[in-house]
Structure 1
Amino acid sequence: MYKVETPQSDEEFEKYFAFRWFMLRKPWNFPLGSEKDEYEQVGIHRMVLDAEGEVIAIGRLHFNTPEEAQLRHIAVHPDHHGKGLGKLIVAALESVARTEGIERIVTNSRELSTPFFKSCGFEVVGEATTELGQLKREQMVKKLTELNTVLLHPRWCKELQDTWYETIPISEQMGIKIYRFTGRTLEVRASLNKNINLHGTMFAGSIFSLATLTGWGMLFLMLKEKNLTGEIVLGDADIHYHKPITSQPRAVCNIESVSGKFELLAKKRKKPFTLRVDIHDGQNPVAEFKGVYWILPPAEVKEDESVE
């Protein structure tokens, strides 16, 4: 499972900038040092490390005005393309921008990167100045509205959100909402005020419901991506609580935690899927949920309904 880190030590920043130079400056024969600019001290830096502690993805955010932030230096090592790491970095930086009340994010994209940023919700608004004096770039912008918090497949996410509210009305009363979906990570949040007990913390039952729906939602979206259909039901679950939630309830499910064979569903066979959902209070981990879900193919659903 990949995790976005913030470089802290001199050694970590040295690796971070070395990777930026290697990916974004060396191919154009620019010297060491050319990878840095005047925003490094005030920028928001993020990176992803592999199992050996080597940098494999990076990105930076800085603020142009109180309303506008700018993304720069997004890069992923070629050996790790196709794993969603670029979107993971963008999502982490976008989250910072939202926390700071930013209304829009801009980026100047090379032509090869434009499809990637479009998949993250950015739109081309014009031409930008050339980079390094030779690379044509396009200016792109993303307005930070509640709807486009979802980075990938917003229509599917809206369908999932509507399904929850229509079939489980209490989920809307609990303030359960999809916060982001990157294709590899689903994050769902709930309102603490709507789920608070007499101790000023979140009800344990509400935490369990949040985790259950998040796991269910991840399978729902994975079925969409694989062009499959089926009825998802919770078979078994186990949750461990470590600390109470006192501020921001967050449930996160990563695709690496999902285990099951989707190919058997295409053969109209029901299969169990196991997954893990991590519960956080803000940035602090407070509970772990492990669930076993069954996905029933459409033919079996109809057969069961006829028996009833």
Structure 2
Amino acid sequence: MFKVVTPQTDEALTAYYHFRWQYLRQPWNFPPGSEKDEYEQVSEHRMVVNGQGEIIACGRVHLNTAEEAQIRHIAVHSGYQRRGLGQFMLNALESVARELGAIRAVTNSREISIEFFKACGFTVEREAPNELGLLKRQQMVKKLDDFSLLVMHPQWCQELQDTWTETIPITEHMGIKLHQYTGKTLETRASLNKNINIHGTMFAGSIFSLATLTGWGMIFLQLKDKGLQGDIVLGDGNIHYHKPITMKPRAVCNIERLKGKFNLLSKGKKCRLELEVEVLDDTQAVAEFHGIYWVLPKEDNK
């Protein structure tokens, strides 16, 4: 499973900066150390790691003003490109920017990455200063306070939220909300205050429910994407808890961790789907959920 983490130890920061240099500076023959600038201490740093804890993507964001965040240094491992990890990393940085209060994001893009940022909702505003005096760039901007930019297919996402509220009342009591959907990743959040136990942490049962509903929601949205309908039921679910939640309950499901044959529904057959959901306390991974769901066909699929 891919997950976004914050490099916090000296060892993790060293690996993070080396990865940045390796993919963003070394190809242009800049020396180690050139990947850093005067904003490192006031920036939020993030990296994506695989199941073995290896860095496969990185990025950084800092505030230029109270309302404007600057996103920089997004890089993806050459062995993991074209798998949506650049967008996965960008979404994580935009989420951090929103939490910092920014309503606008800017990035200075090189020629080779302009189309990527355009596909993610950015537009070219003006020419930016050359990077390290050599690499030509364009400043690109994106509004962060537009819900339609936070989620892909906002109508589907609203329908999912309404379905939860109307048919699964526990979501309202737990304060579970769809936070972000990119087409590849679904993130949900819950209210800690509505799920807190006598120890000041989130109930284990609430964590399980958050993970279960996140997996259910990902399947709901994938059915929409494929033009299929079905009744989604949980067949089996297992969760491994590592740490308590004391701050910000989050659950993330990535399409890479969803397995199954949706096309069985179009043949009038039920389909078995397997997926994994990562539960976090802010940016700290605290639990992993493995679920088996069944989708029962409806006549409209035929």
Residue 65 (structure 1) aligns with:
65
More moved, 105-114 vs 293-302: 293-302
Name the Cα RMSD after superposition: 3.4
Equivalent pair of 1:62/1:71 in contact (CA under 8 Å): yes
Structure 2: gaps spanning 5 or more residues:
none
Shift of 1:64: 1.4
In 2: Cα distance, 1:171 partner to 1:183 partner: 22
Residue 305 (structure 1) aligns with:
none
In 1: Cα distance, 2:18 partner to 2:234 partner: 48
What secondary structure is seen at the aligned counterpart in 1 of 2:42? coil
In 2: Cα distance, 1:114 partner to 1:156 partner: 28
Letter of the 1:234 partner, please give it: V
- Residues 13/289 of structure 1: CA separation in 2 closer, same or farther (3 Å cut): closer
Residue 233 (structure 2) aligns with:
234
Equivalent pair of 1:120/1:151 in contact (CA under 8 Å): no
Q: 1:158-215 CA distances to partner (integer Å, 9 max, x unpaired)?
A: 3422433454466345432111224443211123445567886656665554333211
What secondary structure is seen at the aligned counterpart in 2 of 1:102? coil
**May I ask how many residue pairs the two structures share in their alignment?**
301
In 2: Cα distance, 1:228 partner to 1:159 partner: 15
More moved, 252-261 vs 150-159: 150-159
Residue 104 (structure 1) aligns with:
104
Residue 6 (structure 2) aligns with:
6
In 1: Cα distance, 2:175 partner to 2:144 partner: 20
Residue 114 (structure 1) aligns with:
114
Residue 164 (structure 1) aligns with:
164
Equivalent pair of 1:149/1:180 in contact (CA under 8 Å): no
In 2: Cα distance, 1:15 partner to 1:199 partner: 36
In 2: Cα distance, 1:204 partner to 1:12 partner: 30
- Residues 52/282 of structure 1: CA separation in 2 closer, same or farther (3 Å cut): closer
Shift of 1:150: 2.9
- Residues 268/134 of structure 1: CA separation in 2 closer, same or farther (3 Å cut): farther
Residue 306 (structure 1) aligns with:
none
- Residues 197/30 of structure 1: CA separation in 2 closer, same or farther (3 Å cut): closer
Equivalent pair of 1:120/1:152 in contact (CA under 8 Å): no
Letter of the 1:272 partner, please give it: R
Residue 35 (structure 2) aligns with:
35
**Match runs of 1:1-308 below 5 Å:** 1-50=1-50, 54-145=54-145, 147=147, 150-168=150-168, 171-172=171-172, 174-194=174-194, 207-225=207-225, 227-238=226-237, 240=239, 247-283=247-283, 289-299=289-299
Shift of 1:107: 0.8
In 2: Cα distance, 1:235 partner to 1:10 partner: 42
Letter of the 1:231 partner, please give it: G
- Residues 101/291 of structure 1: CA separation in 2 closer, same or farther (3 Å cut): same
- Residues 38/273 of structure 1: CA separation in 2 closer, same or farther (3 Å cut): same
Task: Report the structure number with the largest CA radius of gyration.
Answer: 1
Letter of the 1:83 partner, please give it: R
Letter of the 2:296 partner, please give it: L
Return the TM-score normalized by structure 2.
0.80
Return the TM-score normalized by structure 1.
0.79
What secondary structure is seen at the aligned counterpart in 1 of 2:259? coil
In 1: Cα distance, 2:25 partner to 2:244 partner: 47
